[in-house]
Amino acid sequence: MRWNTPGTRLVIALIGILFPSALSFSQTASPNPNAHKTQGRSLLVDGQASPFKTWLEQDVAWIIADEERSAFNLLKDDEERDLFVEAFWSRRDPTPDTYENEFKEEHYRRIVYANDHFGASLAGWKTDRGRIFIVFGPPDQIVSGPASQCGEQFKDDEGNSQFASESWCYRYLEGIGIDVVVHFVDVCDCGDYRMTMPSTLRRALLYTPHPVYETLRGPTDPRLYIKTSTAPRLRFKDLEAKLNSNLNWHVLPFEVRTDVLKATAVTSLVPLTIAFQPHDVGSVEGNGSQRVTLNLLGRVRTLTGHIAEQFEDTLEVDDISPSELSLQKSLALLNGLYRIEIAVQKANSDEWGTWVRVLKVGQ
């Protein structure tokens, strides 16, 4: 994604009485006390935080390394910050030879899920459950109530659970260990579950670095953090030419369903469903074969023409059924107006079609 526009703590007074000193609550906050101290007046636009500042404090608050945060604070202008954001996601891309970045897409899906399921007095991504979910993903098992199979719950003197609670069980967490159990307790009876466990495990969960961080150790040189890898080679150049021609073609019809899901104050997740009807797809060969290969190229452009996202895919069907055929894509986009362009062509055929719409993302 290219960014071209500049654009309480809750104190629980009874904690020392209610819980042993070996156990502590985490108030979801920045990984270090200086995390939100950014330099440069350009991070304020008309007195408001720019998208870059919000991205730092919300979008990647739980996954950015201290070295990366320090480097970000040394960047001189929004052009460098734009390159930093691109390089940040590129370093984490498990498939750098493709346009899709599965890590980035999954990260924003987790933020949206956390907002939908864990929010109470705080936005879901800010909560303890939201933070653990965003960083480590869904647990292998969740146990609620006093009869926990994951470990001991907090109980009163009569052996009854005093507060609503959850135990999240992970069979394995990289950098943490096996059979990890994370406890959450709703001590205010308001849906605001707090993580509570021995301080050593809590520190490990909150501050164990992602493997990519190990490549960032050493002196902070901001120039190292704005280098991006070589862009993948486009597989479907013929489809790119069709999009560039601006032809609205429907020999191969399809429809695209879109949604916009708020993730943070500046970023939304945009799921796309690209759907085909079997009678429109037909077959490739004239011998009755029902094997069909559809090649797809999509791109998202700003209204100034810059390509914000691009994706390619192939849909192969051996036996066309009466049901709908579809592909799903999820795009994390900075809030704004975009032109979404998609071209699809049946392999070994002249049948192709396009779909173009302007989409408003966010407020």
Instruction: Indicate the pTM of the whole model.
Output: 0.80
pLDDT score, position 196: 86
pLDDT score, position 217: 59
Burial class (CB in 10 A: 0-12, 13-18, 19+), 211: exposed
Evaluate if residue 268 carries a pLDDT over 50: yes
pLDDT score, position 24: 34
Task: Tell me what the mean pLDDT of segment 249-265 comes to.
Answer: 93
Query: 9 pLDDT band (50/70/90 cuts)?
Result: very low
Contact 146, 178 (CB under 8 A): no
Q: DSSP code of 224?
A: G
Contact 272, 330 (CB under 8 A): yes
Q: ∠ at Cα 318 (356, 350), nearest 5°?
A: 45
Q: Which residue has the higher pLDDT, 15 or 107?
A: 107
The type of residue at 124 is G
The predicted-structure confidence for 84-128, as pLDDT tens digits, reads as follows: 999 999 999 999 999 999 999 999 999 999 999 998 888 999 999
Q: Where in the chain is the domain with CATH 2.60.40.10?
A: 237-361
The predicted-structure confidence for 33-91, as pLDDT tens digits, reads as follows: 334 334 333 444 334 457 999 999 999 999 998 889 999 999 999 999 999 999 999 99
The predicted-structure confidence for 195-226, as pLDDT tens digits, reads as follows: 888 888 888 888 876 666 555 655 567 888 88
Q: What percent of the chain has pLDDT over 90?
A: 49
Work out the mean pLDDT of the chain and round it to a whole number.
79
Q: Which residue has the higher pLDDT, 302 or 10?
A: 302
Superfamily for 237-361?
Immunoglobulins (2.60.40.10)
